[in-house]
Structure 1
Amino acid sequence: MARPIARWGAALAFGALWWWAVLRLALVPAAGAPEAAVAAGGWGLSLLPVHCVPKTRAGGAMDPRQWGRAWRAGRGERTDRVQGVG
């Protein structure tokens, strides 16, 4: 029970810190590098793919050869066989 509470508390604290930095940058003319670093860092963390799984385990994952077949089909080439087979 303590772990989820600690996680939520940390997320809330970091979120509040990020919003403080963003609002300070937007509203206070004297805001500087520390606020910008916190705001940019928080935004950058949101871009991390933290919920990724390997392609082989991903739901709806395509076989990599299908991309090649689709590419060749768009260029008007034969797509009924894989390159180098048959």
Structure 2
Amino acid sequence: MTTGRVLRRGAVLGFGALWWWAAARLLLAPDAGVVEGAVAAGGWGLSLLPVRCVPKARAEGALAAGRWRRAWSSARRGRVRSAGGSGEAAG
């Protein structure tokens, strides 16, 4: 294993143990207070974040920057055709 991976796993285990300690103190200790509540709430809030985040440019299926702007500007110039027709107005 690389050093970075070992450090990351150690941090995850350490923060996980800290969160469980805070949660257990909130449930079991009558003198638990603000610190335990903050640690437990912060850990729960972090669990709501996405685990795998990548830059938009590298994300699979991501839309290119400015795509909607180009679509709207071409629509204003009359370059958009309907999906089923020849582009001529019916009438």
Q: TM-score range by the shorter chain?
A: 0.5 to 0.7
| CA–CA separation in structure 1 for the residues paired with 2:9 and 2:58 | 32
Deviations 1:14-73, CA, capped at 9 Å, x for gaps: 0000000000000111100000000000000111124244398336x7xxxxxxxxxxxx
Structure 2 counterpart of 1:57, one-letter code: A
CA gap of 1:6–1:57, structure 2 versus 1, over 3 A, is closer
| CA–CA separation in structure 2 for the residues paired with 1:37 and 1:48 | 17
| CA–CA separation in structure 1 for the residues paired with 2:24 and 2:47 | 18
Residue 58 (structure 1) aligns with: 60
Query: C-alpha root-mean-square deviation of aligned residues, in Å?
Result: 2.9
The share of aligned pairs that are identical, in percent, is 60
Alignment of 1:31-50 (within 5 A): 31-50=32-51
Alignment of 1:62-77 (within 5 A): none
| CA–CA separation in structure 2 for the residues paired with 1:7 and 1:48 | 17
TM-score, with structure 1 as normaliser:
0.61
Matched pairs, number = 67
Residue 29 (structure 1) aligns with: 30
CA gap of 1:9–1:36, structure 2 versus 1, over 3 A, is same
